[in-house]
Amino acid sequence: MFGPVRGPWPDESWRGWWGENPVYHVPVFVLTHHARAPLVMEGGTTFHFVTEGIESALAQARKAAGGKDVRVGGGVNVIQQYLRQRLIDEMHIAISPVLLGAGERLFEGINLPALGYACTRHESSPLATHVVLTRQ
């Protein structure tokens, strides 16, 4: 989600999709296979690039959050890794009736009930259906 770069960083010119003041305003931990120095932005956002895996990224995020909630964002592969390790306590999915074409399947190969997840809330409107999955 941080950017379109795949593989090693060709340089450090890419600074994200959002301009100099990203919407986060908190530390953000980006999973990557390629090291990069932290990127300090306006508004309190610093992107930290984590090469040690999901557990390390989560531990760093929890420490930075100081007891507050930690949110996991990313592509399908990242979400699947966290689900398989039962590291997501609650997941809110917003489904919009828009056909985008091809893509990755979020729950491909994942047995949510076997991992201890259940649907605990759902609401729908003409614009979206919201589903909350909670780890029991």
Q: At 36, give phi and psi (nearest 5°).
A: -155, 145
Identity of the residue numbered 63:
K
* Tens-digit pLDDT profile for residues 29-48: 999 999 999 999 999 999 99
Residue 20: pLDDT above 80?
yes
Q: What percent of the chain has pLDDT over 70?
A: 100
Cα(36)–Cα(63) distance, integer angstroms: 20
Cα(91)–Cα(67) distance, integer angstroms: 18
Higher pLDDT, 75 or 133: 133
Residue 136: pLDDT above 90?
yes
User: Token pair for residue 56?
Assistant: 């390390």
Higher pLDDT, 74 or 31: 31
User: Token pair for residue 23?
Assistant: 């919407």
Q: What percent of the chain has pLDDT over 90?
A: 75
Q: Indicate the average pLDDT of the chain.
A: 93
